[in-house]
A and B are shown apart, each in its own frame.
Chain A
């Protein structure tokens, strides 16, 4: 059974870069059947899809964040990562990583999720 675990600093200063890693166990991120997403939820607000990376390494980002986001993968460590530049207090949120796949032609973004990690942007 696949497991995903987010890790990274819980506190980031304004204007700096938020960096998180998702370590995947029980499945290979190289598998062509799946793709790997980052999703976040600020306190009191709804969930927001940040973007995803395919096993090929190609990426797809939410237009609202596209100019600040980078998602990458390290197949040797079976990890994928999120980078978010120029953060502000508005980027304070619980950040989740998730595995997705297409089932009978329907894209399922969050077939499996990590528990999430809270990131606070504050000086």
Chain B
């Protein structure tokens, strides 16, 4: 299985900060990388697909980049509703696998 490694596992940030989360794949996965957001008690939400495509309805402060083995999710200006856990997921090969998650907390 392809291993997905996210960093950091958690971070503290303030409203307005620029936040970057990294996801690394154990082998090249092209652009078959997606980012999800999860908040307690809510359904996880797809933010980005195919590394850099913004899912419909997701604010443009979210962006994604990368290809091959290294990917980033960037929040350009953190908003109060963005405090959540973010996780990456690859779909290049089966089974799909996920990163361990990055918890974004309020500083």
**Interfacial residues, chain A to chain B (CB-CB below 8 A):** 4, 46-49, 60, 62-64, 96, 98, 103-104, 106-116
Contact = CB atoms under 8 A, between A and B. Distances in A.
B34 to A, nearest CB: 6
Contacts, number: 63
Interface of B is mostly: loop
Interface in B83-102: 87, 89, 91, 94-101
A120 to B, nearest CB: 18
Interface string B64-107: 00000000000000000000000101010011111111000000
Interface of A is mostly: strand
Interface of B: 31-32, 34, 36, 41-46, 49-50, 53, 55, 87, 89, 91, 94-101
Contacts of A115: 41-43
- Please indicate which of the listed interface residues B32, B41, B50, B94 has the most CB atoms of chain A within 10 Å of its own CB: B94
14 contacts: A4-B43, A47-B98, A49-B97, A49-B98, A63-B95, A98-B44, A103-B53, A104-B50, A107-B32, A107-B91, A109-B89, A110-B46, A110-B89, A113-B45
